[in-house]
A = this chain, B = another copy of it.
């Protein structure tokens, strides 16, 4: 069975994504690693442990990674969106997990890759710090990575700043290293698509009524849902990371285009993805062609996520 590694900063949408991966019959969730991001590393790590326990997957090893960005300190965390604990203040509802794998995220990722007979998919759904460190410190393991399915970036604007999406903005140097400088097959799932995959109130109601896991996940959404409802002017929730993980467990779920991209690291555009969408021009130096998710069957995706989380 194909193996999957998830690097995450839970986070409400990470919680949905983790649950999706933990319950997917198509993949073997080989490990989960954590990174600072939506909230600080202690909280994202505690949340990852508790979510795996809630999914009855205490067998999945969890290790804690970077508490800060690769080069420059990031400015602030996204706690105002996800709540102080990353789960709308509801993280105490999570069960206990037997405990953290010692040694840290990067060594755990490296060990899983080294020991796996087949290449492994990695789904980074937080800042790309751990992944940049993995690729830079263990370049010999790159052939063991089947694909990076990265949630991040925005082709027509950002959410953390006018230009930058949160995951890239939180560590632009790591994003530049992973997305532009490496040659591992990479699919980027930007917010242009994840916003279109929004789920609405009835979807969340159906999730809540579907069983204990659905009820638990729904219980994490109040402040997150309020954020998006106020932002977008209608009752909705954006499950960014779950869109990427759906593709990671069922390749082909998302329709992609190949685009040359780079990452801006300075000025007001710090953390922005720049895609070269000009027609008829040769590739620019400093850009790399990667796959970018541009569309999906929206209703089918929503139904899939609901079905898997019930």
Using a CB–CB cutoff of 8 Å, the interface residues on chain A facing chain B are: 66-68, 70-73, 103-104, 106-107, 110, 129, 133-134, 136-140, 155-159, 161-163, 173, 176-177, 181, 230-233, 260, 262, 264-269, 272, 274-281, 284, 286-287
Given contacts A70-B70, A71-B265, A262-B268, 11 further A-B contacts (CB under 8 A): A70-B173, A71-B173, A71-B176, A103-B140, A107-B107, A133-B136, A161-B284, A162-B277, A173-B173, A233-B279, A268-B274
Closest chain-B Cβ to A276's Cβ sits at a distance in Å of: 4
The CA of A252 and the CA of B227, in the complex, are separated in Å by 37
Report B-chain residues with C-beta under 8 Å of the C-beta of A275: 157, 162
- Copies of this chain, whole number: 4
> CB < 8 Å: which of B103, B163, B230, B272 contacts A280?
B230
Closest chain-B Cβ to A253's Cβ sits at a distance in Å of: 26
Q: Is the CB–CB distance between A162 and B230 below 8 Å?
A: no
> CB < 8 Å: which of B71, B103, B137, B260 contacts A104?
B137
Report B-chain residues with C-beta under 8 Å of the C-beta of A173: 70-71, 173
